[in-house]
Amino acid sequence: MPGIYIHIPFCKSKCGYCGFYSLPSLKLKERFLEALKKEIIERGVSLSAGDCGSSPAMRPALKDNIHTLYFGGGTPSLLSIDEIGDILHLIKDTYTVAENAEITLEANPDTLSPEYLEGLRRLGVNRLSIGIQSFFDDDLQYLGRRHDAHHARQCLDWAKQAGFSNISIDLIYGLPTSNAEQWNKNLDVFFAYDLPHLSAYALTLEPNSILTKQIEFGKARPISDDDALRDYGILCQRTKENGFLHYEISNFCRPGMHSKHNASYWFGTPYIGFGPSAHSYDGTSRQWNVSSVEKYIDTRRETVRLRDLEVPCPEVPCPASEKEQLSPEQCYDEYVMLRLRTHWGIDLKWLKREMGERFSSYCEQHAQPLIAQGHLSQTREFLYLTDEQMLFADGVAEELFWE
């Protein structure tokens, strides 16, 4: 079922490790919100009319119900309740949103209060993804987070008191400030809160991030693959013992409580992305908005000006976004890459039916040496990675790629 992603590109400050697109200032917030509302309306109009570059495959997505909305960032919880409410109302007025849609908001602990969480509930936000990262102060300081361990716990209590039950937290492992005992304690706290979902990421050094530079100049402790592997092993074992499903490399849930929005990325379901750097997918092509708040704001102003001059729609330039039509071979590669990251794996029967024998035979043939070497597993018509193999999904996928 189609989904909508809304990128809120602002943070209070930049965390040392982060490579996501966001600005560490709210200076452009008002103008961004104006541009965002214009994009929501304009793309709704163009999807109904089938003009302005929307492909035929994308159009039925509007007729179908939108089943997931996801506010990601950046820090969406920097917006006020009224600002989030305005965006939600506009989306519901412009698109057909299912009554029981999953509505997720990514939130940073330092922006949360009991009143704010109650406000989100009243708006109909029914899933929270909270960036806890660690329940230990030394880890949080190393990562350059704005909250401390006490506040990490406090905001989970507040979220529950406000009536949220569908709560996910992000944790980061493989930290040089941690060890096996501390990582186990982090997981103990997570289990003690009885939450239905966990996203746990190995710390990665993003090009040009503050942390990467600090490590290069000897100003921060380096990270080690061995620590990450050790913590990953603990993570897989403890989540399994506690009844969680390891449904994607970094995602664990109680049965039935996976992120419906993120699962649609892995299942190749169409989605529309609003905001700078947001991606859209219509089944055969990808579109992505420019990763610059300034250019995003300017382009929306230009598009509207041209509309006022009654320039016919197909001639309206869309320089703030780029589009790529995917060839069958690229669609195959995407399917392999996305599905290998999940516990659902590659469905060879589906591949044969939907993409043809050319692709299913190619995949099966190239899978054989990987199975023989123990890098890939097969059960009947499914090729998949076990817990231990999942961490190397990208390398295995490359061996199965067409291009």
Residue 201 or residue 350: which is nearer to ligand SAM going by CB?
201
Q: 59 to 118, contacts with ligand SAM by CB under 6 A?
A: 72-73, 75, 106, 108
Residue 272 CA to residue 212 CA, distance in Å, equals 32
**Residue 14 in contact with ligand SF4, rule: CB under 6 A:** yes
Residue 365 CA to residue 381 CA, distance in Å, equals 13
**Residue 133 in contact with ligand SAM, rule: CB under 6 A:** yes
61: tokens are 């997505």
65: tokens are 């119900």
Residue 266 CA to residue 149 CA, distance in Å, equals 33
Question: Considering only residues 46, 54, 68, 75, which one is a binding residue for ligand SF4 as defined by CB under 6 A?
Answer: 75
Question: Considering only residues 4, 6, 8, 15, which one is a binding residue for ligand SF4 as defined by CB under 6 A?
Answer: 15
In the complex, the smallest distance separating the C-beta of residue 69 from ligand SAM, rounded to whole angstroms, is: 16
Contact region with ligand SF4 (CB under 6 A), list: 14-22, 36-44, 312-320, 389-397: 14-22
Residue 72 or residue 275: which is nearer to ligand SAM going by CB?
72
**Residue 262 in contact with ligand SAM, rule: CB under 6 A:** no
Q: What is the DSSP letter of 315?
A: G
- Binding site partner of 14, from ligand SAM, ligand SF4, none, Cβ cut-off 5-8 A by kind: ligand SF4
Q: 85 to 144, contacts with ligand SF4 by CB under 6 A?
A: 108, 131
Contact region with ligand SF4 (CB under 6 A), list: 44-52, 69-77, 120-128, 341-349: 69-77
Closest chain position to ligand SAM (CB): 131
Question: Considering only residues 3, 73, 273, 276, which one is a binding residue for ligand SF4 as defined by CB under 6 A?
Answer: 73
Q: How many residues bind ligand SF4 (CB under 6 A)?
A: 11
Q: Where are the alpha helices (DSSP H) in 124-198?
A: 137-143, 149-161, 180-192
Q: Where are the alpha helices (DSSP H) in 222-347?
A: 225-241, 260-266, 293-308, 328-340
Q: Would you give the binding string for ligand SAM spanning residues 184-223, x where CB under 6 A is met?
A: -----------------x-xx-x-----------------
Residue of 163, 226, 174, 232 lying closest to 204 (CA atoms): 174
Residue 113 CA to residue 312 CA, distance in Å, equals 48
Residue 55 or residue 177: which is nearer to ligand SF4 going by CB?
177
Q: Where are the alpha helices (DSSP H) in 193-256?
A: 210-216, 225-241
Residue 307 CA to residue 214 CA, distance in Å, equals 48
- Core vs surface per residue 106-120: b (16+ CB within 10 A) or e: bbbbbbbeeebbbbb
Instruction: Give the DSSP H/E element, type plus range, for residue 250.
Output: none
Q: Which residues bind ligand SF4 (CB under 6 A)?
A: 11, 14-15, 18, 20, 22, 73-75, 108, 131
Q: Which residues bind ligand SAM (CB under 6 A)?
A: 17-20, 72-73, 75, 106, 108, 131, 133, 170, 172, 201, 203-204, 206
